[in-house]
Structure 1
Amino acid sequence: MDQTLEVFVTVVEKGNFTRAAEELLMTQPAVSQYIQALERSVGTRLLERTNKYVRLNKAGEIVYHHAKDILGLYTRMNTLVDDLMHRAGGHLSIGSSYTFGEYMLPHVIAYMREHYPLIRPSITIGNTTEVGEMILRHEADVGIVEGDYQHEMLHIEAFAEDEMVVMVPRNGRYDHLQEISVQELANETWIVREAGSGTRAATERLFSQYQVHPAHLVEFGSTQLIKESVEAGLGVTLLSRWAVRKEMQLGTLHMLVPNGKPVARQFSWITQKTPYHTKVVEVFLELLHQQRGFPTYV
């Protein structure tokens, strides 16, 4: 591995030469020499230095972005070669959209930890758009997204279907119903997720399909907050059946099937476009396709 790039990235992320030297177990003059050598190699200064801080200039931003990619690819190469000789084990970085990440992924991870104890997973939760960006920036090994996500630079594969239903407050005028026309809910306050969310996209498709234009929309960035708000009588919402399992068991929310059938969407995994995956990624993807550890609907 090019240690010069490693030193440069560490200086940028630590914010000064002293902390970088401590991280790299080097002397501060040695760190400075590496940075000077890199700047000579590219033919320009990369860092703006003062006694208080170190900051990237425009050229430095370009070098930092590509250095991260190069170091990530080098680590990945070594991991793939090491996998040939060892059982699946090591770090697995997962980015997941909210519904799958908060309500299904913990069960999958528990199953994986039981059967593959050498795998060390870490999870970052974001909306579908944010997860796609994580994969593009090499910040996660695999991502899980909701709905019809497309990106020409990523490999995307559906592995499970989700059912979405309308949730309304319990002990209200809808308690006697199991199904409802979406048009009947047009005057309700609809509580929706933020733009970029797969759940928000599914809700907007539902409105478009039935030509419904709700008079009132309230936007929240948390599925849990949406559920609490519906329980409190603030409005109605469209959520995954997996996301409301506990509320249905406790009887705190009432489920309605919109226009006689749940809204269907896909969960998909996404990775960089490459024919090679580490063993830990292969194990995880196989669990997804087999739906091992998945919870069940109520």
Structure 2
Amino acid sequence: MDIHLQVFVTVAEKKNFSKAAEELHMTQPAVSQHIRKLEESIGVRLLERTNKYVRLNKAGEIVFHHAKEIVGLYTRMQHLVDDLANKASGPLSIGASYTFGEYILPHVIANMQKSYPDIVPTVTIGNTAEISSLVMSHQLDVGIVEGRFKEEKPLQTEAIAEDSMVIVASPTHPLSNKNGEVTVEDLEQQTWILREFGSGTREAAENVFQRLNMSPAHTMNFGSTQPIKEAVEAGLGISLLSQWAIQKELRHGDLQIINMHGLPFTRQFSTVTTSPFQTKALQIFIDLLRHNKQLTTFVIGNKKE
């Protein structure tokens, strides 16, 4: 791999020549020389430098975007070649949308580490759109996402688990104590606590609204599931959440499922990757996910006991 690109990426991420030199185990003059050589080969300056900061200019942003992809592809290629002769080991960058990443993925990784301690996973949690984008730009080896997403390049997908979405409210909420069946009109009049657009959980909620032919009178948006649960528990409104995400709250009586005709809503989680060539570490991880139905049943079952 072009060492100039690796040095440039490190400087851009650290925003500092001395910190980049420390990260790369180089002298600061050596780092400066690599940046100068790269700028000479491309024909433009890539960084704005002062005594206080180092930052990318417009040309630098373009080079950084593509350099990240090149570095990621080179690293993956090297691991694939190494795997021909060695056992599963090395880094594995995993991305997951919030529900899977926060409630299921830790158990999958713990299971993997018992048998393959030489695999070193790093985890990025984001919404479906963010994780898919990072996989497409080769900054993640694999993503686990829910819902649909627009891809700029073809992604290879494989369904690995199903999830049930239910309406939840505080036990003191009027709908939790209503006599008789909850109606669509009842739901429309409530404040709905929802995830942001771009998340699979938000997409599931929009699908439920469409299925029930309803439009909520009031909505509030949050960036992750935990504050939504807290808001619902505090009585601010109701929400549509994964049954994976509410096991503790159901067991402790902090949340209650609102039964409604046509629910629960079922959605699929899928892996997304960019290449048919996979390191041994990635192959092992995906194989564990393929058995995820047994694993998640075990995890959730234990929580209910």
TM-score computed with the length of structure 1 as normaliser: 0.91
Find the counterpart in structure 2 of residue 277 from structure 1: 278
Quickly say closer, same or farther: Cα 1:252–1:270, change in 2 above 3 A.
same
Deviates more, 1:66-75 or 1:252-261: 252-261
Quickly say closer, same or farther: Cα 1:82–1:210, change in 2 above 3 A.
same
d(CA) in 2 for partners of 1:47, 1:14? 13
Quickly say closer, same or farther: Cα 1:169–1:47, change in 2 above 3 A.
closer
Find the counterpart in structure 1 of residue 169 from structure 2: 168
Q: Which amino acid aligns with 1:267?
A: F
d(CA) in 1 for partners of 2:184, 2:106? 32
Deviates more, 1:47-56 or 1:169-178: 169-178
Given that 2:133 and 2:151 are in contact with CA atoms closer than 8 Å, whether structure 1 keeps it comes out as: no
RMSD between aligned residues? 2.1
Find the counterpart in structure 2 of residue 117 from structure 1: 117
TM-score computed with the length of structure 2 as normaliser: 0.89
Deviations 1:217-244 (CA, angstroms, capped at 9, x unpaired): 1212221111122222221111111111
Given that 1:146 and 1:266 are in contact with CA atoms closer than 8 Å, whether structure 2 keeps it comes out as: yes
Given that 2:182 and 2:259 are in contact with CA atoms closer than 8 Å, whether structure 1 keeps it comes out as: yes
d(CA) in 1 for partners of 2:77, 2:39? 26
Q: Which amino acid aligns with 1:289?
A: R
Which of the numbers 200, 203, 206 marks the counterpart of 2:202? 200
d(CA) in 1 for partners of 2:148, 2:37? 47
TM-superposed deviation, 1:54: 2.8
Q: Secondary structure at the match of 1:138?
A: coil
d(CA) in 2 for partners of 1:20, 1:230? 45
Find the counterpart in structure 2 of residue 242 from structure 1: 244
Deviations 1:272-295 (CA, angstroms, capped at 9, x unpaired): 2x1101111111111111115322
Find the counterpart in structure 1 of residue 215 from structure 2: 213
Q: Secondary structure at the match of 1:226?
A: helix
Deviations 1:163-206 (CA, angstroms, capped at 9, x unpaired): 11111221444347797443431111111111111111111111
TM-superposed deviation, 1:101: 0.9
Deviates more, 1:180-189 or 1:137-146: 180-189
Find the counterpart in structure 2 of residue 257 from structure 1: 259
Q: State the number of aligned residues.
A: 297
Where do 5+ consecutive residues of structure 1 fail to align?
none
Q: Secondary structure at the match of 1:202?
A: helix
Deviates more, 1:199-208 or 1:31-40: 31-40
Find the counterpart in structure 2 of residue 63 from structure 1: 63
TM-superposed deviation, 1:143: 0.9
Deviations 1:11-64 (CA, angstroms, capped at 9, x unpaired): 323334333333333333333332222222222222233333333222222222
d(CA) in 1 for partners of 2:268, 2:148? 7
Deviates more, 1:246-255 or 1:166-175: 166-175
Identity %: 56
Q: Secondary structure at the match of 1:293?
A: helix
Quickly say closer, same or farther: Cα 1:103–1:4, change in 2 above 3 A.
same
Q: How does 1:1-298 map to 2 (within 5 A)?
A: 1-151=1-151, 153=153, 154-173=155-174, 174-175=176-177, 180-272=182-274, 274-291=275-292, 293-294=295-296, 295-296=299-300, 298=304
More helix by share: 2
Where do 5+ consecutive residues of structure 2 fail to align?
none
Q: Which amino acid aligns with 1:217?
A: T
Q: Secondary structure at the match of 1:170?
A: coil
